Amino acid sequence: MRFDILTIFPQAFDSYLKESILKRAQKNKLIEIHIHDIRDFSKDKHKKVDDVPFGGGTGMVMTPQPLYDSITFVKKKNKGPVIFLSPQGKIFTQSKAEKLSKKYDELILLCGRYEGIDQRIRDTLIDEEISIGNYVLTGGELPAMVTIDAISRLIPGVIGKEQSHIQDSFSKALKRKKEYPHYTRPKTFKGMKVPEILTSGHHEKIKKWRESKLK
């Protein structure tokens, strides 16, 4: 999967995407992430990317020119849909992550800042608008990272096969959001014991116990 991210805050991605499992996935050529600074496309003498809203009101709006030019530039290399991360978008779910990961090899993610983007860009260049939840953030950068993470881990080889999404409690195969309690070594931690059944080796009994503990 190829992701192209459009942002005015490219450094925001350094922390997460250059570490963790997604770093290995990039090294192993399972995913490709290209980050573009919208400001680099501004034709304004001060590289401005925002302006006051016509009709008045509070806050700033991202101007169309840098958005138009940066999106048009990225579309030459990435043939996937342009997804705008916004609190007004359709809620992003596990099912949506699965659909996007199956349907596309390439995605363009547009991160907004300020109060939003000029409506003419929305009307002409945005294919989908996605929200990661009903809350407002200072930018679409965290939502873009959440989206990339959720989609990438569904690509075969990105996460270890023992944790593969096929047996993930949140996957469609299981069709439920339930999970049983997990324990690991040591058997006793600060006096708290691991349920004995789990260390008994009785696989059938363990299966039954886990089913009884689903939450």
* Residue 85 lies near ligand 4FD (rule: CB under 6 A): yes
Please provide the DSSP assignment of 92-135 as one string. Answer: P-HHHHHHHHHH-SEEEEEEP-TT-B-HHHHHHH-SEEEESSSS
Cα angle 53, 59, 62; round to 5: 60
Catalytic residue (one of 39, 87, 179, 210)? 87
Cβ distance to ligand 4FD smaller for residue 77 or 90: 90
Cβ distance to ligand 4FD smaller for residue 133 or 195: 133
The type of residue at 138 is T
Q: Which of 1, 143, 145, 148 binds ligand 4FD (CB under 6 A)?
A: 143
| Nearest-angstrom CA–CA distance, 99 and 93 | 10
Binding span for ligand 4FD by CB under 6 A among 28-36, 108-116, 167-175, 199-207: 108-116
Catalytic annotation on 153?
Answer: yes
Cβ distance to ligand 4FD smaller for residue 25 or 144: 144
Secondary element (H or E) of residue 24? helix 20-27
Catalytic annotation on 115?
Answer: yes
Catalytic annotation on 87?
Answer: yes
